[in-house]
Structure 1
């Protein structure tokens, strides 16, 4: 199975706002290892998270900049961009744009579906770009 293609497809579907299509690529027993407060670390919670993201950032785009696949895992460096046009996790709309980096690891089951995810996102940078946290003073 071509896990690199499946991983790229997850980002394409989310970027298109097709959270249900993304869900088709996710195993029913999926486990989310990234902490997304307020969302269950399972398939349903992850789909809810991306519905909230695409609602808050309707122009959200996830662009794969690097992707490495080996065995049952794939790792990607992804650029996430979007404009904050709706409430997200209690944060009122700012109208500001964000542009951050993500690192994602996905593990695939025997059917080729994503069954586990680990991720790191530069949320501090996003909060600074949205004007919610001041930029650090130069050293």
Structure 2
């Protein structure tokens, strides 16, 4: 499932609930079944016309932004892989367990977003940062 479409659906769901409307009511407003509104809210609909019509019924304006695709940088990939290995060593995990944990609790997202700063630190400091980020996102490794 496309995470961007899911996010659009979540936002439309919040707007609908804030207006005190049911999916059935919104569907009636735009001439679709409740099931279609549900699909959009769950990120399962790629029909931008339907998304736009739901947004108009909710009196919000959907906005589209086109960004250039970032190519994978070998240096970032190497850094993230090494950070995962170091995290696994410190916390006595397999590399697969560490990778899954860091992915689940946003550690890898953190490394990608803050690569410019993190790669200048020692791997010891990097693992400390990853541990805190994951704890802040619900992880329980200490």
TM-score range, shorter chain: under 0.3
For the pair shown, which has the larger CA radius of gyration, 1 or 2? 2
More strand per residue: 1 or 2?
1
Higher relative contact order (CA 8 A, sep 6+): 1
More helix per residue: 1 or 2?
2
TM-score normalised according to structure 1 size = 0.24
